[in-house]
Amino acid sequence: MTQIIDTDVLVAGSGGTGLAAAYSAVQNGAKVTVIEKQGQIGGNTKISSGFFAINSQEQRDAGLKLSTKEAISQIAEYNHYLSNGALLSKIVNTSADTLAWIEQMGMEIKLNPTANTTQFAHRGNDYRGGSYHMYQNKDNSYHRIEKTLKDAGIKFIFNTTMKDLIVDNGQVKGATAEKDGELLTINAKAVVVATGGYGGDFARVSKTMHTNKLRRLGVPNNGEGMTAMVKAGGVDIDSHALIHASQLAKSTVTQNTSAKHLAGFSSNPLTQLLLTPQLWVNKKGVRFANEDVVYDTVEWANAAWSQGGEYFFIVDQSTLDTFTNNKNEEEVSEAGPGATKDGGDFTELAKEAVAGKTAFVGQSLDELAENAGLDQDTFSKTIAKYNQEVAEKNDQEFSKSAKSLLYPVKNGPFYAFIAQATYLGTVGGVRVDENLAVLDKDLNPIPGLYTGGANAGGYYEGHSYPAFEGLASGFTWTSGRIAGASAAEYAIGA
């Protein structure tokens, strides 16, 4: 039997976008129903660390003089003006106000000092690092937010998956959903689809990103909302995986490799080698980037993606000994989210990685190349050139800093570890206007349809996530808030 529910505004999904949309719609006088696939609120937003905002009270109190004008122009330039300027401007200009608004909802949040940024490349950069406001005591914060919303009269239906939109004569009039095998029809005057992209659908992500080598993190958002919006006439202009840092490869050979935390972002000391600017080569043995990008999660992931999402970092026995003896002088990046500073027997760890087939070893460079499937001649030329650059402290190819040209690759055995770019769900999506109305192919709003967060297109460059901390999570709340107000206005003429 199909259950039928009537509401003014239906919000599908209760991550940051859905929560903000629901609260702003109810504040604007609408009757609001939220359906959520999982048994709890939060989605990927609850896993995320922080919120990009410019000119917040805390920034002013800290003496930071940040202008939204400058932030907008920096992001637009980063995006090569491919993003929707009107949307970008509205989001950045309302970010500080939205931050204060979510604090009133119950979120505890604190400005992160630029000096403490996990992305060393952003140290001292107030626009890229000083914009980061970090969520505190998340369980308590989300508990308070849920209470605020329920007290405001918002009805939540959990464990309920939106399936499709109800479209009548070009107008969106609700959605169908499924709860415990039963169908629900939710009639609504306006719908905000806040289902957070499709990061849980690995096949779809692999198709968009042209590789199946990415590692993934996040809740299983499978893209029903995005698919339904496209079916209703929306245009997916720029959805893509939010690639962010790289991880050690996960062994498919031995469960122990994972159990011992040799894979993924882990506290295993081996991660220190991943998070320092060792020599990187692609699957052919060609060096491809200034390895100092390891200090910025976005640039690092982008460099990895440029080679198909996977690369090797190369170390010799002397480098392993240096790390084992706690004599490493390279700064260990905390990007993504960092390694333990504890010591360890790096040779033993390397051997375990080899046993798990997430690394290869060779007594000679040729043997390593053969075992790792690299082109021997190319690899040997790469190593010779790199060793010369280390000796001269001068990277003629990629301008790696002299202080990172520390470890030549000279004394066997030699190791190649597999690293894989990682993604945190998807971002981008269907084209929207600055009110978060979903537009059809002729750029006309589809009546009754709104979205935001990881379903909305036009805030990013297309395939690269801008290297400003907290941008996606901040966009989520701010776009959701605008979408909720727009939906309420459409639904009840508030």
Three-state DSSP state, 216: strand
Gap between the Cα atoms of 45 and 146, Å rounded? 14
Residue 194 or 374 with smaller CB distance to ligand FAD: 194
What residues have CB less than 8 Å from 466, skipping those under 6 apart? 75, 78, 79, 298, 460
Quickly tell me which residue has 């939109």 as its tokens: 165
State yes or no: cis peptide before 337, omega within 30 of 0.
Answer: yes
- Smallest gap from Cβ 362 to ligand FAD, in A, equals 35
Contact 422, 416 (CB under 8 A): no
* Beta strand pairing call for 3-12 and 310-316: unpaired
Name the nearest CA neighbour of 29 among 491, 380, 481.
491
State the minimum distance, in angstroms, from the CB of residue 42 to ligand FAD.
6
Minimum distance, C-beta of residue 99 to ligand FAD, in the bound complex (Å)? 13
Cβ of residue 232: shortest distance to ligand FAD, in angstroms?
14
Task: Give the shortest CB-489-to-ligand FAD separation in angstroms.
Answer: 21
- Find, among 426, 414, 435, the residue nearest to 489 by Cα: 435
Q: Which is nearer to ligand FAD, 413 or 470 (CB)?
A: 470
* Cβ 426 to ligand FAD shortest distance, Å: 8
- Decide whether 162 or 349 has the Cβ nearer to ligand FAD: 162
Minimum distance from residue 164 beta carbon to ligand FAD (Å) = 10
Q: In the complex with ligand FAD, which residue's Cβ is closer, 36 or 292? A: 36
Q: Are strands 32-35 and 155-157 parallel, antiparallel or unpaired?
A: parallel
Rank residues 5 and 354 by Cβ distance to ligand FAD and give the closer one: 5
* Shortest Å, Cβ 39 to ligand FAD: 9
Q: Which is nearer to ligand FAD, 130 or 285 (CB)?
A: 130
Please, what's the b/e burial string for 228-252 (b: 16 or more CB within 10 A of its CB; e: otherwise)?
A: bbbebbbbbbbbbbbbbbbbbbebe
Q: Which is nearer to ligand FAD, 162 or 361 (CB)?
A: 162
For residues 454 and 482, which CB has a smaller minimum distance to ligand FAD in the complex?
454
**3-state class (DSSP) for residue 295:** helix
- Provide the minimum distance between the beta carbon of 475 and ligand FAD in the complex, in angstroms, as a whole number: 7
Burial grade of 108 (CB within 10 A; 0-12, 13-18, 19 or more) = middle
CA–CA gap between residue 292 and residue 121 (Å, rounded):
9
Burial 438-470 (b: 16+ CB within 10 A, else e): bbbeeeebbbbbbbbbbbbbbbbbebbbbbbbb
- On whether the CB atoms of residues 54 and 31 are closer than 8 A, the answer is no
Q: Whole-angstrom Cα distance, residue 371 to residue 193?
A: 49
What's the burial of 485, exposed, middle or buried (CB within 10 Å: 0-12/13-18/19+)? buried
Output the CA–CA distances (angstroms, integers) from residue 484 to 11, 191, 194, 270, in the order listed.
Answer: 8, 9, 10, 46
Which of residues 243 and 350 has its CB atom nearest to ligand FAD in the complex?
Answer: 243
Judged by beta carbon, residue 5 or residue 47, the one nearer ligand FAD is: 47
The 3-state DSSP class for residue 16 equals: helix
**CB-based contacts of 209: which residues, under 8 Å, 6+ apart?**
240, 241, 243, 305, 309, 423, 463
**Binding positions for ligand FAD, rule: CB under 6 A:** 12-18, 35-38, 43-45, 47-50, 161-162, 194-196, 217-219, 221, 224-225, 242, 424-425, 427, 453-454, 470-473, 476
Q: In the complex, which residue's CB is closest to ligand FAD?
A: 15
- Min separation Cβ 229 and ligand FAD, Å: 11
CB of 195 to ligand FAD, least distance (A): 4
Choice between 356 and 448, CB closer to ligand FAD: 448
* Minimum CB distance to ligand FAD, residue 20 (Å): 8
**With respect to ligand FAD, which residue has the nearer C-beta, 224 or 330?**
224
